[in-house]
Structure 1
Amino acid sequence: MNRRRCAAAAITVVCALGLLTVPVQAMAAPIPDVPTPPPGASVTVPSAPLPPASPLSPSTSPSASDQELEKVREQIETLYRKAGAATDAYNLAQEQTKKQSGEIVKLAKAIVDGQARIAELKDQAGAQAREQYRNGGLPPGAQLVLSDDPKLFLDGINKVRQSQQANQTVLAELSRTQEDLETYTQDASTNWHKLETNRVKQAKAKKKINAQIAAAKKLESRLEKKERARLRQLEREAASRAHTAWLATRPVQTIENAGSGATSAGKAAVAFATAQIGKPYVWGATGPGSYDCSGLTSKAWAAAGRPIPRTSQEQWRLLPRIDIQDMRPGDLIIYHADASHVGMYVGDGTMVHSPRPGRNVTLAGAGSMKILGVVRPDK
């Protein structure tokens, strides 16, 4: 009876948490914007109080209880998927923030160098002006032009020309440097605004991630130990059913051939990814102790000498796409319509991935989730 009460309580919580299931934007639309959470950041628990559990009817059968637990599993999966999408938004904004910060540093140095060069050129121009003043407004070469000595006259003409060219060069460089300085200043201001925008995006995504994860954990925490174990079993069964259904749509020859022809870089990426099996999922993490899904794939390919985009949505958007039947070890399988999850194909219909909070890096069937497509980093 306790088991049934807890399962029913979890279902009640599912209803109460409906407000947390607002769809998250897919990659095709602008992503909500975003700073890296410090290790051990606290989780924001939804402020709305959870309703009390209502007891199940005494006539409820074990199969009905499984049906209720299945609903809880689906709701938890939905919450974690939304957290995953928000994590992708967070990671993208974090990368953009790093880029903007780097640009600002470069521009600041360019501004300092430009100011120093302008000061130097002004000193040169001032020295030339003072020299002309000392010579009655005429440079030394111009005075020689007035000489009756033919040799001095020719020398004077050359010196006048050289002096004029020097003056023009200094003034032209001074003008260019001042224009560059204005451009650097404008670019620095633009990048600063972008930086602040991305910081706001990070903060929003972080809040959404924490809320979704807290809601999912709250649902699971209302179940008894045996019910949580059964929930894990239902999770495995759902993944197995999805993978089996996917395999049924693939010709046997395709599955047997897929995985052949891996490149040396692909093999290196797979070796790195599979070496991380057992390490926990942590959103925003890129190792070495923990990873989120795209943190694992991006680090694996970086280790193979082929840097790729940080997020699963950017990996889907920017990397070359291939047909599923042609995939080989090292290729990345992108999941869900919003490209919010990614795993790495390792051959024999299997992939390695970092699933979600509360789970570790593991092997799973390539078809255990809805496949959006496949991309190849080393194509």
Structure 2
Amino acid sequence: MSGRLLRWACTGSALTALTTLATLAPPATHAAPGPGPGPGDRPVAELLTDLQRLYRQAEESTETYNTTDEKLKARRREAADLERRLDTARASAGASRSAAGRLARQQYQNGSVAIPAYVRLLLARDPQGALDQRHVLRRASADRAATVNRLVADERRARELAERARRALAAQESLARRQKQARDSVRARLKEVEELLASLTPEQLAALGRAEDDGATRAQREFVASGALGAPGARRAPSERGARALRYAVEQIGKPYVWGAEGPSAYDCSGLTQRAWRVGGRGIPRTSQEQWARLPRVPLRELRPGDLVVYFPRATHVALYLGDGLVVHAPRPGARVKVSPVGANPVRGAVRPDPGGPVAEEWRPPRLPDGAREGTDTGWSG
């Protein structure tokens, strides 16, 4: 993200900051018509559609980046484990090789033609002693065979682990290239967002902000009126873990959205939900798509605080349900962690990280800080 967009992020939503600027700026004079229609001639609805498209593309790239990053971390752990096991196998093979070498030297030094055991028994003055010696020789022979077999097994294990380590490294390098491509794609999309916003007049920015706010308000009203949340005023207590997760999320209000961030100073949407539930005592997947795919689903009518609300057809945004039709989430670049209406974005469904967890007793919603609802409500529009 460029310096200008970061500066906007430091003071709140890019749209909110620029909308405020528009209310202070004098009316702009219209320039003479240029060779073709520029951003100043385009309808606000069209500009908002373009802005949302760019945000959607950035989010898809961010999800790819996060997914690849998780796979890369797993591959690195696997490669490190294979290296440790390979070191152990090589050390064991070396010890077996030394033992086999000693046996070879002993056999060379005692290389006279062996007298068959039954002949030694017939010539022995002490037949019982000869029988005991024969037993010892058999045991020694078995030990030699075991040493050779151990050497063969150790060498085979070392070769197999070396090949697995080579494949793991190759996969790691491939993932690193894919991660770089996803990172570059995010940066390109966000640069386009910045360039679009920078090309607009203060009047357009103000109108864009109003259109976005109006759309979020209308979406929330329609969502509640649909009865998706069940009976009006229904209140449910969270689980004990959900309560801890939600308290943590509320404590993060005001911190900036940064793509790929997992806290504690900044978050993207799924980075916030994952860390909040980790603090709550339950590990969940890293990305919103994996959270939707792998966590138990819960009907929206049964939502309780701490549940995760997932948005958009591709499950590219996620928030923690606060209760009373509100969520806590990290909306998008240029915005900060905040409280928004649950229906401000198209709801995909909800999941519950700990469906069997004990319910928190004497539950009281966490106190919201001042300004908790300021800034953009919409996340990644699709």
User: TM-score scaled to structure 1, two decimals?
Assistant: 0.78
Task: State the shift of 1:54 in Å.
Answer: 7.2
The percentage of aligned residue pairs carrying the same residue is 33
Among 196, 208, 226, the alignment partner of 2:173 is 196
Partner in structure 1 of residue 70 of structure 2: 95
- After TM superposition, the structure 1 stretch with the greater mean CA deviation from structure 2, 111-120 or 165-174, is 165-174
Alignment check: 8 A CA contact 1:124 1:170 kept: yes
Among 71, 96, 105, the alignment partner of 1:130 is 105
**SS of structure 1 residue aligned to 2:102:** helix
Alpha-carbon distance change, 163 to 221 in structure 1, aligned in 2, over 3 angstroms: same
Task: State the shift of 1:162 in Å.
Answer: 2.1
Alpha-carbon distance change, 319 to 255 in structure 1, aligned in 2, over 3 angstroms: farther
Mapped partners of 1:365, 1:321: distance in 2: 21
Partner in structure 2 of residue 367 of structure 1: 343
Alpha-carbon distance change, 303 to 252 in structure 1, aligned in 2, over 3 angstroms: closer
Confirm or deny that 1:82 pairs with 2:57.
Answer: yes
Partner in structure 2 of residue 162 of structure 1: 139
Equivalent pairs, count? 327
Alpha-carbon distance change, 55 to 172 in structure 1, aligned in 2, over 3 angstroms: closer
Give matches, 1:278-357, under 5 Å: 278-357=254-333
Alpha-carbon distance change, 277 to 196 in structure 1, aligned in 2, over 3 angstroms: same
Alpha-carbon distance change, 327 to 173 in structure 1, aligned in 2, over 3 angstroms: farther
Give matches, 1:41-80, under 5 Å: 53=38, 68-80=43-55
After superposition, the C-alpha distances for 1:210-244 in whole angstroms (9 at most, x for unaligned) are 12111112111122335423422322221111111
Partner in structure 2 of residue 22 of structure 1: none
After superposition, the C-alpha distances for 1:95-153 in whole angstroms (9 at most, x for unaligned) are 111111221122122222222211110111121232233334689xx799654323422
Alignment check: 8 A CA contact 2:39 2:199 kept: no
Alpha-carbon distance change, 302 to 377 in structure 1, aligned in 2, over 3 angstroms: same
Alignment check: 8 A CA contact 2:244 2:279 kept: yes
Could you say what the CA RMSD is over the residues aligned between the two structures, in angstroms?
A: 2.9
After superposition, the C-alpha distances for 1:283-314 in whole angstroms (9 at most, x for unaligned) are 01111111000110111111112111111111
Q: Which amino acid aligns with 1:323?
A: P
After superposition, the C-alpha distances for 1:295-346 in whole angstroms (9 at most, x for unaligned) are 1011111111211111111111111112111221111111111111111111
Alpha-carbon distance change, 320 to 210 in structure 1, aligned in 2, over 3 angstroms: same
Q: Which amino acid aligns with 2:100?
A: A
Q: Which amino acid aligns with 2:199?
A: R
- The gaps in structure 2 that reach 5 residues or longer are 1-25, 356-382
Task: State the shift of 1:251 in Å.
Answer: 6.1
Partner in structure 1 of residue 80 of structure 2: 105
After superposition, the C-alpha distances for 1:59-105 in whole angstroms (9 at most, x for unaligned) are xxxxxx9xx22322232122112211110100111111111122112
Alpha-carbon distance change, 54 to 78 in structure 1, aligned in 2, over 3 angstroms: closer
- After TM superposition, the structure 1 stretch with the greater mean CA deviation from structure 2, 154-163 or 75-84, is 154-163
User: TM-score scaled to structure 2, two decimals?
Assistant: 0.78
Task: State the shift of 1:264 in Å.
Answer: 0.6
**SS of structure 2 residue aligned to 1:120:** helix
- The gaps in structure 1 that reach 5 residues or longer are 13-50, 57-64
Alpha-carbon distance change, 5 to 94 in structure 1, aligned in 2, over 3 angstroms: farther
Mapped partners of 2:295, 2:169: distance in 1: 29
Alpha-carbon distance change, 54 to 254 in structure 1, aligned in 2, over 3 angstroms: closer
**SS of structure 1 residue aligned to 2:292:** helix
**SS of structure 1 residue aligned to 2:328:** strand
Among 209, 232, 256, the alignment partner of 2:209 is 232
Alignment check: 8 A CA contact 2:40 2:201 kept: no
**SS of structure 2 residue aligned to 1:71:** helix
Alpha-carbon distance change, 289 to 256 in structure 1, aligned in 2, over 3 angstroms: same
